[in-house]
Each structure stands twice: as structure tokens, then as C-alpha cells.
Structure 1
Amino acid sequence: MPVASNVDRFFDTLSRYLELKAADPSCQESGDVDIGFPYDAIELIARDERLVELMRAGSFDSLMKYVEDETRRWAAKVMGTPV
């Protein structure tokens, strides 16, 4: 499942996601972080314009052949296309 256009973008997106999770009041109260990356990081991943371009161009279609419907819906949301 494509989550970044390159390794630097991946680590940048993941770190931003973790910062947001850590700032969540429920996480601060319990100390537990429910990691839902990449499914809960659609907006952050969609900021990677190069990744979105590659996804729209079908560059990852061969990798996405056998994924579940949930992953297809996630990819459509990242690309900003109707589900």
C-alpha cells in the first residue's frame, strides 16, 4: 500500500501522525496510543502531492490488485476521488 513518494516523506508523515496522536487528550490521559497508520492519516498522506500523482497515474495498480476493499476505499480518499 503506497504511503509516501519517498522514504523522507514517509518518515515526515509518520512523525507528524505520531505527534498528533500524542497530543490527543485521550492518549495523554491513558498513556496509550492507538496507532491506526496509515488508515487514520489520510489527510497527512494526501499532502504528498507526488504520491497522489503516482496513484492517480496507476503506478501502484499492480501492487493494489489483491488488497481488500477497505484499502481501495482508503486509496480513493487519499487521491480525493469518489469511493
Structure 2
Amino acid sequence: MNILNHNNVRPNKLLNSKWTAVTPANKEKHFLVVKLCATATPDEPVTHVELEAVHSGRVQMLPWRALQDATLWHQGWKT
């Protein structure tokens, strides 16, 4: 991943963070991280996050590292 297209993200700071999809689908542009998911136990590192779309309330799961890709996601809610 090119450093210019990279969001500086730490998995332990993701809960309740706000994100904007660069290419919205189904009018879902703004998202909130509602859950951090680890593999088996709470001591395991975060592997995925659950994002809730503000517009529809739909929840999707994706690897947390996908949020580092600035070509797909922007930190905060942008217009």
C-alpha cells in the first residue's frame, strides 16, 4: 500500500470512530465502528470491525486493515 494512500489507524482506537466511504453504495456514505472482533478470546488482537451505516443502520464486517486504505475510506465524516 502506498504511504500516500494510507490512513494512520490503530485497532485499539477504532471503537466508535467515524468513517466515510470514498465510493458510497446504496446511499451509505457515513459509517460508525460499533464492534471490534477478535479471533477467539478477548486477549487476541483485533482482526475485524463491524461498521454500521448511519443512513440505513445496515451492519457490515470487514478486516480492520481495510480502513487503512485511503482510496476506500476517509477518517471522520466528510461531505
Same fold, TM exceeding 0.5? no
- Structure having the higher helix fraction is 1
- Structure having the higher strand fraction is 2
TM-score normalised to structure 1 length: 0.23
TM-score normalised to structure 2 length: 0.24
